Amino acid sequence: MTEERLDVEMTVNGVPRGARVPARRLLSDFLRHDLGLTGTHVGCEHGVCGCCTVLLDGEPVRSCLMFAVGAAGHAVTTVEGLAAPGGSPSPVQRAFAECHALQCGFCTPGFLCTVTALLRDRPRPTDDEVMAGISGNLCRCTGYQNIVKAVHRASELMAEAE
């Protein structure tokens, strides 16, 4: 029983990366275990919790609901790639820390990726847009209060930076 392996190459956080993996390797496991980018977390492996959310060509997707081979040739951004090239945290990352929008931090990378895409599309979101935007990510620690605040704060920080 030898399982076929495929060469899977993609751009991750701006860097070409690749590994030889079975077709069934989930993108989440590929990022974490084949590429060592453990910032992307796995909370349910059935697409509900949102911890594993990454950006695929800029759009947020569940990396546990994709095979790595399906992302071949695409550009993936993980939490490790959200900071500016110099390493200074992005407005969303700063806002989450500033607003105490995380406790255990396990769901946080998924929220950060989701919110990054949300604010790119809606730089000044309404309360309803924030709610809809983060509605697919579970957090068991914060009760979401400060996450909502952080989204608005990140929006402010982005506006200030312009």
Partner 1 sequence: MKPPPFAYRAPRTLDEALAALAEYGADAKVLAGGQSLIPLLNMRLAAPAVIVDINRIGALDTVFVDATGVRIGALARQRRVERATDAARVQPLIGQALRHIAHPVIRVRGTVVGSLAHADPAAELPVVLAVLGGSVEVASAAGGRRAIPAAEFFAGALEPALRPGELAVGAFFPALGPRAGTAFAETARRHGDYGLAGVAAVVALDDDLRVAAARIGCLGVAATPFVLDLTDVLGHRPPDSCDWSAAAEHAKRAVRPEADIHAGGDYRRHLIGVLTERTLRAAAAAARDGVIDD
Partner 2 sequence: MTTKLFGEPIPRREDPRLVTGRGRFLDDLGGRALAAAFVRSPHAHARVVDIDVAGALDVEGLVAVYTWDDLGGRVGEPLPLLIPHPALTHGRTGYPLARDVVRHVGEPVAMVVATDRYLAEDAADRILVGYEPLPPVVGIEAAAAADHLVHEDVPGNAGARLVQEVPGPDGLSAPAAIERAPHRLEFRLAIERSASMPLEGRGVYARWDADDESLRVYSSTQTSTSVRMAIAAKLDLPPAKVEVIAPDVGGGFGVKIVHPWPEEILVPWAARLLGREVKWTEDRREHFTSSAHERGQVHFVRVGFDDEGRILGLDVRFLHDHGAYTPYGIIVPIITSTQLLGPYKVGAYRVEFTSLYTNTVQVTPYRGAGRPQGVFCMERTMDRVAVHLGRDRTLVRAANLIQPGDFPYDQGLTFQDGRPLIYDSGDYPELLRMVKELIGWDDFGKAQTEAAVRGRRLGLGLACYVEGTGVGPYEGGHVEVDSSGRVHVSTGLTSQGQGHQTVFAQIAAAELGVPIEDIRVTTGDTRRFRYAVGTFASRAAVLSGNAIALACRALRDKALRIAADALEADPRDLEIEDGIVRIRGNPAASIPLRTVAVLSNPLRYAFDEEAARATQFAVGGSTDQPPVAEGEQPGLEGTQYYSPVRSTFAAGAHAAIVETDPDTAEVRVLRYAVVHDCGRLINPRIVEGQIHGGVAQGIGGALYERLIYDEHGQLLNASFMDFLMPYATEIPAIETAHLETPSPLNPLGVKGAGEAGVIPVSAVIAAAIEDAEGIRIEEMPISPDDLFRLRERARRAAGESSGAEAGEARPV
Per residue in 123-134, is it b (16+ CB within 10 Å) or e — as a string?
eebeeeebeebb
The listed partner (partner 2, partner 1, none) that binds 125, CB under 5 to 8 Å by sort, is: none
* Binding flag, residue 44, partner 2 (CB under 8 A): yes
The listed partner (partner 2, partner 1, none) that binds 61, CB under 5 to 8 Å by sort, is: partner 1
How many residues line the site for partner 1 (CB under 8 A)? 30
Which CB atom, from 72 or from 98, has the smaller least distance to partner 1? 72
Per residue in 50-63, is it b (16+ CB within 10 Å) or e — as a string?
bbbbbbbeeebbbb
Q: Residue 9 has which token pair?
A: 């190459």
The listed partner (partner 2, partner 1, none) that binds 114, CB under 5 to 8 Å by sort, is: partner 1
Phi-psi region of 58 (alpha: psi -120 to 50; beta: other; left: phi over 0): left
Looking up tokens 């959200």 gives 82
* Binding flag, residue 128, partner 1 (CB under 8 A): no
Looking up tokens 């809809």 gives 132
Where do contacts with partner 1 occur on this chain (CB under 8 A)?
3-4, 6, 22-24, 26, 29, 45-47, 50, 53, 56, 59-62, 64-67, 69-70, 114, 132-133, 135-137
